[in-house]
Amino acid sequence: MMRKFLPAAFAAAFLAAGALSPLRAEEPATFEISIKDHKFNPETIEVPANKEIKLVVKNLDETAEEFESYELNREKIIAGGGQGIFYLDALKPGTYPFFGDFNQATAKGKLIAK
């Protein structure tokens, strides 16, 4: 039974992945946050709910920061002077906190989907 199941599972997984691959014809609306002195600017950012968005996080500090959010299911190291791009799925209305993992005392912010 397992012998039959495995190839079938593989095939199903690939088909599912193929059929559901994101075909993003247009670039979603872009929102930008910067990091300076280990703080986010702005610390609260409003975005439209139920719409895909693109979030650009620019690190203006010299040291690296890890942008992290459990609620958004994202984590990414952003090198000093670098930027990170996040494509976010349509969000339900609500508040999504994020933080800088390397500077948790100061780097705190939230994204509000309305």
Closest distance to other proteins from the beta carbon of 6 (Å): 5
Tokens in use for 63? 């040291």
Q: How far, CA to CA in Å, does 15 sit from each of 1, 7, 24, 33, 74? A: 21, 12, 19, 37, 26
Cβ–Cβ under 8 Å, residues 31 and 112? no
Closest distance to other proteins from the beta carbon of 8 (Å): 10
State the residues that interact with other proteins by CB under 8 A: 2-3, 5-6, 9-10, 13, 16-17, 20-22, 24, 62-66, 70-71, 73-87, 89-92, 101-105
Nearer to other proteins, 46 or 85 (CB): 85
Closest distance to other proteins from the beta carbon of 59 (Å): 10
